Chain A
Amino acid sequence: EVQLVESGGGLVQPGRSLRLSCSASGFTFGDYIMGWVRQAPGKGLEWVGLIRSKAYGETTEFAASVKDRFTILRDDSKSIAYLQMNSLKTEDTAVYYCGRVGYIAGSGVTDYWGQGTLVTVSS
């Protein structure tokens, strides 16, 4: 059974950093793209970024709103993906979800999601 569990959320002051973790099990982690999506309170889903597998150079893509502030790393030996968030802003307050991204029938999809972790940026 595929499971994704996020951790590391909490209250952080503007301008500070926070690192979220996504622990995976039930599949060959190293074969998959891992992504992050966030949801501000009462709002819709916003794509944050993703990291490709080692076979594709572990390259990353980010939304413009977080580019140059957020990075994504992965540790395939531990089956963990990380979202490193720097220079946090109040508008980064959201529930952050990690997800497994598959490309099936020529199209991408986040086929499994974690339960989410809340990040609150406030002074």
Chain B
Amino acid sequence: DIQMTQSPSSLSASVGDRVTITCRASQGINNNLAWYQQKPGKAPKSLIYAASNLQSGVPSRFSGSGSGTDFTLTISSLQPEDFATYYCQQFYTFPPTFGGGTKVDIK
């Protein structure tokens, strides 16, 4: 199975900060990567597909980049509603494994 490693596992940030989360695959996955946001007690929400494409309705302060083994999710200016846990998931091969998650909380 492909292992997806996210870093950091948690971070504290302030409103307005630029936040970057990384996701590393144990082998190359081209651009077959998705990012999700999950708030406590809620279902995940799709943010980005194919590494860098924003889902419809997702604010433009979210962006994704990368290819191969290294990927990033960037929030350009953190908003109060962005405090949540973020997960990456590879869809290159089965099983489509998730990263362990990155919890973003308020500094």
User: Which residues of A are interface residues toward B (Cβ below 8 A)?
Assistant: 37, 44-47, 61, 63-64, 97, 102-116
Q: CA A122 – CA B8 in complex, angstroms?
A: 34
User: Which residues of B are interface residues toward A (Cβ below 8 A)?
Assistant: 1, 30-34, 36, 38, 42-46, 49-51, 53, 55, 87, 89, 91, 94-101
> DSSP majority for the A interface?
strand
Which of B43, B49, B87, B99 is within 8 Å of A109, CB to CB? B49
Q: List 18 A-B contacts (CB under 8 A).
A: A44-B100, A45-B38, A47-B95, A47-B97, A61-B94, A64-B1, A105-B49, A105-B50, A106-B50, A107-B30, A107-B32, A108-B32, A108-B49, A108-B96, A109-B34, A112-B46, A113-B45, A113-B46
Q: CA A109 – CA B91 in complex, angstroms?
A: 7
- Contact partners of A44 in chain B: CB under 8 A: 87, 98-101
Q: CA A106 – CA B43 in complex, angstroms?
A: 25
Residue of B nearest to A112 (CB): B46
- Contact partners of B44 in chain A: CB under 8 A: 37, 45, 97, 110, 113
A63 close to B46 (CB less than 8 A): no
- Contact partners of B53 in chain A: CB under 8 A: 104-105
- Contact partners of B38 in chain A: CB under 8 A: 45
A12 CB, min distance to chain B CBs, angstroms: 22
A110 close to B34 (CB less than 8 A): yes
A114 close to B101 (CB less than 8 A): no
- Contact partners of B33 in chain A: CB under 8 A: 107
Kindly name the residue among A103, A105, A107, A113 whose own CB sees the greatest number of chain B CB atoms within 10 A.
A107
Q: CA A61 – CA B97 in complex, angstroms?
A: 13
- Contact partners of A111 in chain B: CB under 8 A: 46, 49, 55
A89 CB, min distance to chain B CBs, angstroms: 18
- Contact partners of A37 in chain B: CB under 8 A: 44
Say yes or no: A109-B46 contact (C-beta < 8 A), given A44-B100, A47-B89, A47-B96. yes
